[in-house]
Structure 1
Amino acid sequence: MKLDWLKDVALDPGPHVSVYVDATRNRETGAHDMELRWQDARTALAGRGAPEPALVALDDVATDPTGVGGPVGRAMVASAGGLELHLLLPGPPLREEAESGPVPHLMPLVRSLADDVRYVLVELDRAGADITVARSDAVETKKKLSVEGGHDLLHKIPGGGWAALRYQHAVQDSWDHNAAAVANELADIVRRERPEVVLLTGDTKAAAAFRSKAAPVVLDLLVEVAGGHRAAGTNEEAFAAAVTEALDTVRAARRQAVVDAFVQERGRGGAAAEGLRDVVAALRRGQVRTLLLKDDPSSTNTLFTGPNALEIGTSVEELRTLGVEDPVQVRADAAIVRALAASDAEIQLVQDGLDLQDGIGAVLRYADPATP
């Protein structure tokens, strides 16, 4: 999971107020319940010294209607400068949290979106395509557009003779022109949106024409999914299951690629770090490319940090050696995610099948004689 979109929050000196709540409103009393819960959280935060401007900024969004039916969560981060982050989550957080401190608490957000996949869905027929740009786990409005090729000779007819052959060639030419229009639009979308996969469904003959016109940047990401159609009549439940299966394949491949890279580098004593102390040292030097973490929501581990996101250590002495006069003790996961976001690194949550000292490891950007 890329964390560059959290960089502005990570670089803000704080203090920060971080709040994660269940924003589901499936009962008549839902709105009133949310208001009461926010007031309780606000009172507790104020009692712990949270800056009032941050709380005022959160007042504006904490009880807003989500416009989402069914289970949904809300993530909010604010500082004295105002609202820094407000996102709806694909489900309620594991537990509701409201914290104030020098470091933003971003791990619940990472946990909620760790399996998110950016994708483009192309529902194709011989006239054009409906294209949807979406994220699998983010609660947001999908971007949708239709591409019409403009050539309307779409169906071949049985028969022989030169007239029929010319007509069939004209139809094939229409398919090719329409496919080219879709391919050109999709290449622009892929370059702009940077999806992890492009899902293609619909008419098989149109798909063949599209493949012949598609740019390499699209073909490299293309996965065909059966069961979808541009016209009405799609078995929506079956097609949704097929899309979910395709996205699960992307998630598994993404996770396995990170694990394989780590195991390979660890095995040859290369660009890898393992264990909390060594990974923190690599974070401090900006070496981490991808962090591997066995997520433990119940962890009470702490680290020490300074005003700079990369001023991070396992002891006060480490930071004082770096010139940090007043290190502060914070949640380990909060300090780690802040350092990752500030250094344009990524995070991958991993399963129990991988043996990791302290439940943490990293694939490094480089290794040198000073690497732990």
Structure 2
Amino acid sequence: MDLGFLRPLYESDAPVASVHLDTSRGTRDADKEIELRWRHLREELASLGTDEATLNVLEEAIGEGDSRAFGAHGQSLFASDGQLLAAHTLTEPPRQDRATWLPIPDVLPVAVDRGRHLPYVLVALDRVNAHVTAYPAAPSRGPAAEHDLTGRNLHGIDVMSRGGPGNLGGYNGRFTSKQVAQDMWRENTAKVAEHVRDAVAEVGAEVIFVGGDAEAIAYLRDNLAERRLDTPILVVAGGRGGPDAEERLHEAAAEALREFVEQGQEHVAAEYQRKLAHDQAVSGTEPTLPMLSEARGRTLLVGAERDREPQLWGSPNEPVLVGVHSNDMDDPNTAFRAPASALMLRSAVMSDSGFTELREGGEPSTDIGAILRYAGRG
């Protein structure tokens, strides 16, 4: 996963307040519950020295932006020097409400959540009609783009001599009804393919989910292949045909997206294990730190489990540096301590490294490692 979307959080030289809060709205008293949870975090931030202006701007942002009106979700907010730096809606509530006041932002919950929610395109398709919806990487109130398409059908067409003069073919210039129908369905899906390609480009979709008529889906695959669109296409249950079919489609797409994300994480984990055997990766916190500090990490791998997370040292002047001791920094006198994940992710962001969540048996782990840009540890 590309961490570039986090880079603006490191532009402030002042300390940063980071808040990760469950903002689910599944009960009648949800607003009151959110208020109480925030009040606890606000008191904690105040005790750490957070200024009043920063606390106020955080309070104004709670429940705003793309935070959904209902369902289970969360928010990650970042503010500094009285200015809101970013507000991210989380697809899942944080495992624990958390607030920090540090020289750098605490971004692990956002990175983990973003890695579990890829941009995708959803297509409900039959041989005449289609509904194309594009969803961005970040959770939002609704889709980024949505199109309803209606193609041609056989009503009013002479299937034995399709069209007018100059448009005859087949044996003795005559078509069978099956040939005409197939040609028309191909034409319809060609138009759908154009919209799908545009939707993929709009959100940077990493996968396309399609539900509906099997033959129309086959034609759509052919049309997308002709347009050299190599985004994976996965067929899911549901499609067109009323609210029930559409509901099944969305439920199936959500499950398929979860499986697709897990398969991607498993692929990276397998690559990581292969490269460990050839000194092209490192495992554990201490072996990973010099690789990050030397900008040699291609992909940082971190588990989302934060219990007993160690504190490490960072530099205010050299953001890629991270070490076990203050003497590992460029200036030990200005070095500061922060949670390991916060410092390691800052280093990865500022050295343009990627990120993947490490899991164990499908559950969050405490493991840390890195796949290297260059072979050998030198």
Q: Is the pair's TM-score, using the shorter chain for normalization, greater than 0.5? A: yes
- Residues 252-287 of structure 1, C-alpha deviations (whole Å, 9 max, x = no match): 321122122212221122x21222122111111222
1:199 — aligned with what?
209
1:102 — aligned with what?
103
Q: How far does residue 366 in structure 1 lie from its aligned partner after superposition?
A: 1.8
- Residues 3-25 of structure 1, C-alpha deviations (whole Å, 9 max, x = no match): 22111113433310011222123
**C-alpha distance in 1 between matches for 2:64 and 2:219:** 47
Unaligned runs of 5+ in 1: none
> Of the candidates 337, 348, 357, which is equivalent to residue 349 of structure 1?
357
Q: How far does residue 167 in structure 1 lie from its aligned partner after superposition?
A: 5.0
Q: How far does residue 78 in structure 1 lie from its aligned partner after superposition?
A: 0.7
1:190 — aligned with what?
200
2:311 — aligned with what?
302
1:218 — aligned with what?
229
**C-alpha distance in 2 between matches for 1:345 and 1:193:** 22
**C-alpha distance in 2 between matches for 1:158 and 1:280:** 70
Aligned partner letter, 1:318: D
> Of the candidates 250, 264, 269, which is equivalent to residue 260 of structure 2?
250
**C-alpha distance in 2 between matches for 1:113 and 1:75:** 11
Q: How far does residue 166 in structure 1 lie from its aligned partner after superposition?
A: 5.5
**C-alpha distance in 1 between matches for 2:370 and 2:54:** 34
Q: How far does residue 358 in structure 1 lie from its aligned partner after superposition?
A: 7.9
1:59 — aligned with what?
59
TM-score by length of 1: 0.85
2:76 — aligned with what?
75
Residue aligned with 2:308, SS: coil
Aligned partner letter, 1:327: A
Residue aligned with 1:14, SS: coil
The yes-or-no answer on 1:264 pairing with 2:264 is: no
> Of the candidates 367, 370, 373, which is equivalent to residue 365 of structure 1?
373
CA gap 1:236/1:16 in 2 versus in 1, 3 angstroms: same
CA gap 1:40/1:267 in 2 versus in 1, 3 angstroms: closer
Q: How far does residue 207 in structure 1 lie from its aligned partner after superposition?
A: 1.7
**C-alpha distance in 2 between matches for 1:286 and 1:17:** 27
Q: How far does residue 35 in structure 1 lie from its aligned partner after superposition?
A: 3.1
Q: How far does residue 235 in structure 1 lie from its aligned partner after superposition?
A: 4.2
Residue aligned with 2:229, SS: helix
Q: How far does residue 245 in structure 1 lie from its aligned partner after superposition?
A: 4.1
Q: How far does residue 130 in structure 1 lie from its aligned partner after superposition?
A: 0.9
Q: How far does residue 71 in structure 1 lie from its aligned partner after superposition?
A: 2.2
Q: Is the 8 A contact 1:211 1:219 kept in 2?
A: no
Q: How far does residue 217 in structure 1 lie from its aligned partner after superposition?
A: 4.5
Residue aligned with 1:120, SS: strand
Q: How far does residue 240 in structure 1 lie from its aligned partner after superposition?
A: 4.5
Higher deviation after alignment, 345-354 or 91-100: 345-354
- Residues 29-74 of structure 1, C-alpha deviations (whole Å, 9 max, x = no match): 4323433443443233223211333223212212549442232222
The yes-or-no answer on 1:326 pairing with 2:327 is: no
Q: How far does residue 102 in structure 1 lie from its aligned partner after superposition?
A: 0.4
Unaligned runs of 5+ in 2: 162-170
Q: Give the length in aligned residue pairs.
A: 364
CA gap 1:268/1:154 in 2 versus in 1, 3 angstroms: farther
Q: How far does residue 365 in structure 1 lie from its aligned partner after superposition?
A: 1.7
**C-alpha distance in 2 between matches for 1:150 and 1:274:** 55
**C-alpha distance in 2 between matches for 1:211 and 1:154:** 26
Q: How far does residue 220 in structure 1 lie from its aligned partner after superposition?
A: 4.3
**C-alpha distance in 2 between matches for 1:136 and 1:235:** 25
Q: Is the 8 A contact 1:149 1:182 kept in 2?
A: no
- Residues 107-130 of structure 1, C-alpha deviations (whole Å, 9 max, x = no match): 222344442232211111222421
**C-alpha distance in 2 between matches for 1:337 and 1:154:** 60
The yes-or-no answer on 1:5 pairing with 2:5 is: yes
Counting only pairs closer than 5 Å after superposition, residues 84-99 of structure 1 correspond to structure 2 as 84-99=85-100
Counting only pairs closer than 5 Å after superposition, residues 19-168 of structure 1 correspond to structure 2 as 19-62=19-62, 64=64, 66-80=67-81, 82-134=83-135, 138-148=139-149, 150-153=151-154, 165=175, 168=178
**C-alpha distance in 1 between matches for 2:302 and 2:147:** 41
**C-alpha distance in 2 between matches for 1:159 and 1:178:** 20
Aligned partner letter, 2:195: E
Higher deviation after alignment, 249-258 or 344-353: 344-353
**C-alpha distance in 1 between matches for 2:183 and 2:247:** 35
Aligned partner letter, 1:34: I
**C-alpha distance in 2 between matches for 1:185 and 1:235:** 22
Q: Is the 8 A contact 1:121 1:131 kept in 2?
A: yes
Q: Is the 8 A contact 1:119 1:199 kept in 2?
A: yes
